[in-house]
């Protein structure tokens, strides 16, 4: 049950952080402080999919035990070694995505004939909206048919990894991560191990 | 003219099998002017005796008429033709249209069930439906939400309806039904949701449940007799399934039955395959997981299992065993044998004696298949009948959280449900195939009723070091276990084939082409690009003395996940976009029937 209460609280916390961070973000834009080398991304210089604006927006500003957050206080990715090394959550998100999501949303979040490309959706969706949709589901009715996404609120295989999925999809949306399986990765943080155990309930 | 034709053929068949089967279905399926079963005949040959359209004139084919279904989802299966009426089905919401061919396809009636849309996301891989069946004046529809409905063919009025499963537990349906004798046989989907799957017989007049046989569990649940039910010639013994699962895991065991059914009136046996065991993480379910991934022969009256053969014990790759069982009579070593040929997802083409379940042939029908070196055919061997798994490609041996690379075929199989055809004129099978490989990484998952229960990460790509395409259309000799010819296709061939007495074989492609090829050589004789990608099955019928060929367009299904994406090139460097163009550059969503004929 823990994963549920966690999922419910998390967006609130995120929203609070967002309120503070957005005020600071304006200054940051003006001042452009030197990026913290500890959290700076080193992306693949040859990749052509990069969206400079989103990459800037999703740049990590803080790290706590292997978990990165961006200027909005939302979880984000961290990529180094010319795009070869990924933070644990982006890597884990890749794995979970290709188990739980790809049968509808397609490989590498590219979409399918019956579900949208999440690499595009995540250009718009906030962290709160994202968590809300995976927990509560979604229904789109149009003249050509009905698209329905199930509610995963009860599904530990999804909800326990909501942040991982979000981080991975953000990396896909900004083009920071091309259509590849993450090869090298940062070690699995202790806090991730602990959270996973608590959430899955043994 | 047609009536005489029908009578003559009907009389011939009735004489050879008087008291068996469903006389109406037998009679009408012997008349090539009509199509009453999705499988064309009980033997699942998908062979039509019509020969007006033949290898020399097929190049003149033209579009005769078209019909929009009004639904933009994956369209599998095909329409039926009974007398002057055509019956067209759609994916969810599973509309049925009755069209009068005498009146230029005017809609005589339309049936649209009201189904809870919450069933949509529970259906793995799109909301396809593989079509209607006809028997004794009724059209049988098996809806997405597992409701089986008998409709009066003339009026569209509901004769009866019965609910076969519970979508809230992940139980859904995509398959067609088998009308046999006075029964309607139905299967169920939900292998990715940990459903304990089964086959059920309903009384065709009342919809009353007659029997249900599960794919796993206690002998009684499976309608198995430890002494009389055999596997590879030997009695299966007591608790043959329970012994191969840890604890209660069989209760969420999968073994789903979403494929095709065939029936032999002479032996009075029906045949089908069971699907993957749940979850996709093999480490979490030790044992052979019987009888998932199995060819089943059952008595249609009682459900009693006569024989079983498990093709992929302890599945590690999601190689569902549900593909069609094609029944033919051919000579093996100079002796006439009743055969069953099956092209499995696992990449082996099996030929068995369908009376006894004896394994005669098991050979790869795509040379890139690598997860097993071969199937052990040595009767004296301890591993007789089992695939010899290659350690390198064993996701069980490599273990959880290890990415096993370069496994061929991918989870969608060397062939999925798209049915093959058989021509008695060439004694060849015509098989639509996938030429796709994968990386597969299993990991631990927890089970929640009604939620997906997958437990593996997949990445799929065109077979490396081959022609770069993701499909082949092949001709297969089922007795020799050899490919006769093979046509390369850019995308997986996801359409059911049709062979005809005109020496033509038809199939559709994901780009939307209807193709006609020479049955002897595979040479392309005709192609036409329909409005959307084809995952439906080619059908043919005759109306007022003229032969027509029909195909549903409407891309989707498992194949639809490649539509927007394309698949990545495994050989491309990190960061490079795959060299394979996305299907979305070739076609778009659709829902249309296109009917072809020769010019007048």
> B6: Cβ–Cβ under 8 A, 6 or more apart, which residues?
B27, B28, B31, B33
pLDDT at B324: 98
- Please give the helix or strand (H or E) that residue A128 lies within, else none: helix A127-136
Residues B125/B557, Cβ–Cβ less than 8 Å:
yes
pTM for the model stands at: 0.89
Q: Is B337's pLDDT higher than 70?
A: yes
In degrees, to the nearest 5, what angle opens at C-alpha B38 toward C-alphas B32 and B39? 75
Tens digits of residue pLDDT in B98-114: 999 999 999 999 999 99
Token pair 């631990």 in the structure block, residue: B444
Average pLDDT over residues A153-175: 94
Q: Within 10 Å of residue B402's Cβ, how many Cβ atoms?
A: 13
DSSP 8-state symbol, B282: G
- Among A82-91, B440-449, B574-583, the range scoring the smallest mean pLDDT is B574-583
Mean pLDDT of chain A: 82
| Helix, strand, coil share (%) of chain B residues, nearest 5 | 10, 35, 50
Tens digits of residue pLDDT in B303-322: 999 999 999 999 999 999 99
SS3 state of residue A64: strand
Exposed, middle or buried by CB within 10 Å (0-12, 13-18, 19+), for B161?
middle
Q: Select the residue from A82, A113, A137 to test the B interface by mutation, using most B Cβ atoms within 10 A.
A: A113
Q: Is A7's pLDDT higher than 80?
A: no
Closest alpha carbon to B313 in B389, B214, B232, B226: B389
List CB contacts (< 8 A) between A146 and chain B: 92-93, 117, 120
Q: Within 10 Å of residue B209's Cβ, how many Cβ atoms?
A: 12
Tens digits of residue pLDDT in B245-271: 999 999 999 999 999 999 999 999 999
CA distance to partner chain B, nearest, from residue A134 (Å): 12
Using a CB–CB cutoff of 8 Å, tell me whether B72 touches chain A.
yes
User: Where are the alpha helices (H) located in B232-305, listed in sequence order?
Assistant: none
How many Cα atoms are found within 13 Å in the side-chain-facing hemisphere of A63?
19
Phi/psi region, residue B557 (left: phi>0; alpha: psi -120 to 50; beta: rest), is: left
pLDDT at B565: 59
Using a CB–CB cutoff of 8 Å, tell me whether A81 touches chain B.
no
In DSSP terms, B353 is beta-bridged to B339
> Which of B145, B219, B318, B503 is flagged as catalytic?
B318
A100 and B454: CB-CB below 8 Å? yes
Q: Is A17's pLDDT higher than 90?
A: no
Using a CB–CB cutoff of 8 Å, tell me whether A50 touches chain B.
no
CA B396 from chain centre, in angstroms, equals 27
- Token readout for A75 is 């979880």
pLDDT at B521: 98
Nearest to B561 among A106, A156, A180 (CB): A106
Q: Is B540's pLDDT higher than 90?
A: yes
- Please give the helix or strand (H or E) that residue A167 lies within, else none: helix A162-174
Q: Is B502's pLDDT higher than 70?
A: yes
Using a CB–CB cutoff of 8 Å, tell me whether B446 touches chain A.
yes
Q: Is A104's pLDDT higher than 70?
A: yes
* In chain B, % of residues over pLDDT 90: 78
A178 and B445: CB-CB below 8 Å? no
B446 and A157: CB-CB below 8 Å? yes
Q: Within 10 Å of residue A146's Cβ, how many Cβ atoms?
A: 17
Place B568 in a pLDDT band, splitting at 50, 70 and 90.
low
Using a CB–CB cutoff of 8 Å, tell me whether B124 touches chain A.
yes
B574 and A113: CB-CB below 8 Å? no
Using a CB–CB cutoff of 8 Å, tell me whether B576 touches chain A.
yes
Nearest to A117 among B564, B567, B578 (CB): B564
Q: Within 10 Å of residue B147's Cβ, how many Cβ atoms?
A: 18
Q: How far apart are CA B300 and CA B183, in angstroms?
A: 8
Q: What is the dihedral of CA A27, A28, A29, A34, to 10 degrees?
A: 140
What angle separates helix A2-31 from helix A162-174, to the nearest 10 degrees? Answer: 30
Q: How far apart are CA B308 and CA B292, in angstroms?
A: 10
Tens digits of residue pLDDT in B21-49: 688 999 999 999 999 999 999 999 999 99
Using a CB–CB cutoff of 8 Å, tell me whether B286 touches chain A.
no
Place B275 in a pLDDT band, splitting at 50, 70 and 90.
very high
Tens digits of residue pLDDT in B285-294: 999 999 999 9
Residues B592/B65, Cβ–Cβ less than 8 Å:
no
B575 and A178: CB-CB below 8 Å? yes
Average pLDDT over residues A21-28: 40
In degrees, to the nearest 5, what angle opens at C-alpha B43 toward C-alphas B37 and B48? 65
Q: Is A132's pLDDT higher than 50?
A: yes
Using a CB–CB cutoff of 8 Å, tell me whether B294 touches chain A.
no
CA distance to partner chain B, nearest, from residue A24 (Å): 34
- Among A3-12, B146-155, B392-401, B467-476, the range scoring the smallest mean pLDDT is A3-12
- Among B82-86, B394-398, B528-532, B548-552, the range scoring the smallest mean pLDDT is B394-398
Q: Is B274's pLDDT higher than 50?
A: yes
Phi/psi region, residue B135 (left: phi>0; alpha: psi -120 to 50; beta: rest), is: beta
A107 and B567: CB-CB below 8 Å? yes
Average pLDDT over residues B453-468: 83
Q: How far apart are CA B344 and CA B275, in angstroms?
A: 11
List CB contacts (< 8 A) between B443 and chain A: 95, 99
Closest alpha carbon to B177 in B340, B294, B300: B300
SS3 state of residue B377: coil
Place B240 in a pLDDT band, splitting at 50, 70 and 90.
very high
Pairing state between β B539-543 and B546-553: antiparallel
A98 and B457: CB-CB below 8 Å? yes
pLDDT at B121: 77
Please tell me which residue of chain A has the smallest CA distance to B587: A113
Token pair 């979305």 in the structure block, residue: B584
CA distance to partner chain A, nearest, from residue B330 (Å): 40
pLDDT at B125: 66
Using a CB–CB cutoff of 8 Å, tell me whether B565 touches chain A.
yes
Nearest to A181 among B93, B451, B459 (CB): B459
Distances (CA, A) of A14 to A70, A71, A139, B41, B282: 11, 11, 25, 61, 38
Q: Within 10 Å of residue B370's Cβ, how many Cβ atoms?
A: 18
pLDDT at A99: 84
Closest alpha carbon to A118 in B578, B583, B564, B566: B564
Cross-sheet strand order for the sheet of B482-489: B421-423, B428-434, B471-477, B482-489
Average pLDDT over residues A97-102: 87
pLDDT at B123: 78
Q: Is A25's pLDDT higher than 50?
A: no
Q: Select the residue from A48, A114, A161, A181 to test the B interface by mutation, using most B Cβ atoms within 10 A.
A: A114
Q: Is B378's pLDDT higher than 50?
A: yes
A49 and B578: CB-CB below 8 Å? no
CA distance to partner chain B, nearest, from residue A174 (Å): 14
Tens digits of residue pLDDT in B223-237: 999 999 999 999 999
In DSSP terms, B498 is beta-bridged to B506
B71 and A148: CB-CB below 8 Å? no
- Number of A–B residue contacts, CB under 8 Å: 142
Q: How far apart are CA B363 and CA B344, in angstroms?
A: 10
A44 and B575: CB-CB below 8 Å? yes
Please give, one letter per residue, the 3-state secondary structure of B459-494.
EEEECCCCCCCCEEEEEEECCCCEEEEEEEECCCCC
B439 and A181: CB-CB below 8 Å? yes
Closest alpha carbon to B344 in B268, B431, B428: B431
Q: Is B574's pLDDT higher than 90?
A: no
Exposed, middle or buried by CB within 10 Å (0-12, 13-18, 19+), for B599?
exposed
Residues B551/B66, Cβ–Cβ less than 8 Å:
no
pLDDT at B132: 98
Closest alpha carbon to B28 in B70, B73, B71, B81: B81
Distances (CA, A) of B556 to B72, B75, B436: 9, 7, 17
DSSP 8-state symbol, B576: P
pLDDT at B579: 32
pLDDT at B567: 58
Q: Is B544's pLDDT higher than 70?
A: yes
**Could you confirm whether B31 is annotated as catalytic?**
no
Average pLDDT over residues B494-511: 97
Nearest to B451 among A47, A148, A154 (CB): A154
Cross-sheet strand order for the sheet of A85-86: A79-80, A85-86, A184-185
Token pair 């089970």 in the structure block, residue: B447
- Among A84-88, A162-166, B397-401, the range scoring the smallest mean pLDDT is B397-401
Average pLDDT over residues B334-341: 97
Mean pLDDT of chain B: 91
- Token readout for B305 is 């299992």
- Token readout for B116 is 């809870």
Distances (CA, A) of B494 to A160, B409, B500, B564: 36, 15, 19, 16
Q: How far apart are CA B496 and CA B324, in angstroms?
A: 11
Q: How far apart are CA B214 and CA B256, in angstroms?
A: 9
Give the phi and the psi of residue B340 in degrees, each rounded to 5.
Answer: -130, 125
CA distance to partner chain A, nearest, from residue B45 (Å): 30
Closest alpha carbon to B552 in B221, B110, B77: B77
SS3 state of residue B22: coil
Pairing state between β B471-477 and B428-434: antiparallel
pLDDT at B458: 79
């Amino acid at each position: 049950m823990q994963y549920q209460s966690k999922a419910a609280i998390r967006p609130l916390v995120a929203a609070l952080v967002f309120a503070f961070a957005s005020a600071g973000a304006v200054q940051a834009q003006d001042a452009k402080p030197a990026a913290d080398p500890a959290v700076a991304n080193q992306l693949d210089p040859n990749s052509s999919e990069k969206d400079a604006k989103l990459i800037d927006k999703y740049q990590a500003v803080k790290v706590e035990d292997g978990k990165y957050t961006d200027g909005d206080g939302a979880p984000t990715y961290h990529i180094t070694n010319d795009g070869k090394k990924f933070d644990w959550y982006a890597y884990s998100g890749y794995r979970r995505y290709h188990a739980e999501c790809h049968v509808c949303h397609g490989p590498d979040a590219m979409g399918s004939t019956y579900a949208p490309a999440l690499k595009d959706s995540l250009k718009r969706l906030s962290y709160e909206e994202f968590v809300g949709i995976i927990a509560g589901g979604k229904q789109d009715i149009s003249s050509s048919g009905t698209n329905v996404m199930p509610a995963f609120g009860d599904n530990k295989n999804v909800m326990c990894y909501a942040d991982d999925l979000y981080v991975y999809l953000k990396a896909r949306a900004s083009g920071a991560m091309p259509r590849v399986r993450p090869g090298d990765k940062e070690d699995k943080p202790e806090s991730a191990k602990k959270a996973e155990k608590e959430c899955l309930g043994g | 003219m047609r009536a005489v034709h029908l009578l003559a053929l009907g009389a011939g068949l009735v004489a050879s099998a008087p008291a068996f089967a469903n006389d109406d279905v037998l009679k009408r399926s012997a008349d090539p002017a009509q199509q009453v079963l999705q499988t064309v005949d009980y033997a699942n040959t998908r062979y039509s005796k019509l020969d007006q359209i033949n290898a020399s004139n097929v190049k003149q084919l033209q579009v005769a008429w078209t019909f929009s279904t009004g639904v933009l989802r994956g369209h599998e299966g095909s329409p039926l033709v009974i007398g002057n009426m055509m019956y067209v089905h759609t994916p969810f919401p599973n509309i049925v249209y009755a069209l009068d061919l005498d009146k230029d396809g005017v809609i005589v009636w339309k049936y649209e069930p009201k189904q809870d849309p919450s069933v949509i996301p529970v259906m793995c891989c799109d909301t396809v439906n593989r079509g209607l069946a006809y028997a004794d004046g009724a059209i049988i529809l098996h809806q997405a939400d597992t409701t089986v409905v008998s409709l009066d063919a003339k009026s569209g009025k509901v004769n009866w309806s019965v609910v076969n499963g519970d979508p809230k537990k992940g139980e859904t349906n995509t398959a067609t039904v088998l009308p046999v004798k006075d029964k309607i046989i139905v299967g169920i989907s939900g292998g990715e949701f940990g459903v304990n799957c089964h086959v059920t017989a309903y009384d065709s007049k009342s919809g009353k449940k007659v029997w249900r046989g599960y794919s796993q569990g206690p002998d009684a649940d499976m309608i198995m007799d430890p002494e009389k039910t055999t596997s590879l010639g030997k009695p299966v013994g007591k608790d043959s399934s329970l012994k191969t699962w840890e604890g209660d895991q069989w209760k969420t065991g999968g073994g789903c039955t979403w494929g095709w059914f065939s029936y032999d009136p002479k032996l009075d046996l029906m045949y089908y395959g069971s699907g993957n065991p749940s979850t996709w993480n093999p480490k979490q379910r030790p044992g052979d997981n019987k009888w998932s991934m199995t060819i089943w022969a059952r008595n249609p009256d009682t459900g009693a299992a006569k024989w079983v053969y498990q093709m992929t014990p302890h599945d590690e790759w999601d190689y569902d065993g549900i593909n069609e069982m094609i029944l033919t009579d051919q000579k093996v070593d100079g002796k006439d044998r009743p055969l069953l040929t099956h092209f499995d997802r696992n990449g082996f083409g099996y030929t068995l004696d369908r009376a006894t379940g004896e394994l005669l042939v098991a050979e790869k029908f795509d040379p890139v298949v690598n997860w097993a070196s071969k199937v052990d055919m040595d009767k004296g061997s301890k591993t007789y009948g089992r695939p010899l798994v290659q350690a390198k490609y064993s996701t069980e041996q490599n273990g959880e959280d290890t990415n096993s690379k370069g496994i061929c075929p991918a989870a969608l199989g060397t062939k999925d449900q798209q049915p093959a055809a058989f021509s008695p004129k060439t004694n060849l099978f015509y098989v639509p195939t996938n030429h796709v490989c994968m990386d597969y990484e299993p990991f631990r998952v927890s089970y929640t009723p009604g939620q997906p229960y997958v437990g593996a990460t997949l990445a799929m790509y065109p077979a490396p070091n081959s022609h770069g395409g993701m499909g082949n259309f092949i001709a297969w000799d089922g007795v020799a276990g050899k490919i006769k010819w093979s046509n390369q296709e850019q995308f997986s061939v996801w359409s059911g084939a049709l062979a005809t007495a005109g020496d033509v074989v038809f199939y559709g492609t994901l780009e939307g082409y209807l193709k006609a090829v020479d049955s002897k050589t595979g040479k392309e004789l005709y192609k036409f690009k329909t409005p959307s990608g084809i995952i439906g099955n080619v059908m043919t019928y005759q109306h007022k003395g003229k032969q027509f060929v029909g195909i549903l367009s409407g891309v989707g299904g498992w194949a639809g996940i490649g539509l927007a994406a394309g698949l990545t090139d495994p050989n491309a460097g990190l960061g490079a976009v795959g060299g394979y163009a996305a299907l979305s550059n070739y076609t778009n969503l659709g829902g249309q029937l296109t009917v072809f004929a020769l010019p007048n």
